[in-house]
Amino acid sequence: MAGQEIGHLVKMANQIVLNFGERRDSKMAAQRTVEHLQKFWTPAMREQLSAYAAEGGGDLSPALQRLLADS
């Protein structure tokens, strides 16, 4: 996968998790982000992000990385 493409997906996912209140409740924000991704992202986008998380997901929000890696 192109580095720019996954970088953009990671940036968007991190912005979404922040908007859902990661600083207040990281687990709830990560869960709501996954629900958002399931509703609004294409399967290919979700698969790319999940693969990135499974490989360590270094730039992802920690709570989101754990949730994606487990799914």
> Which pLDDT band holds residue 36 (cuts at 50, 70, 90)?
very high
Question: pLDDT tens, 4-29?
Answer: 799 999 999 999 999 999 889 988 99
> Which pLDDT band holds residue 2 (cuts at 50, 70, 90)?
low
Task: Estimate the crossing angle of helix 62-70 against helix 43-54, to 10 degrees.
Answer: 100
Among 19, 24, 28, residue whose Cα is nearest residue 64: 28
Judge whether residue 39 has pLDDT over 90: yes
Do residues 50 and 71 make contact, with C-beta atoms less than 8 angstroms apart?
A: yes
pLDDT at 70: 74
Domain boundaries, the chain: 3-70
Nearest-angstrom CA–CA distance, 44 and 14: 18
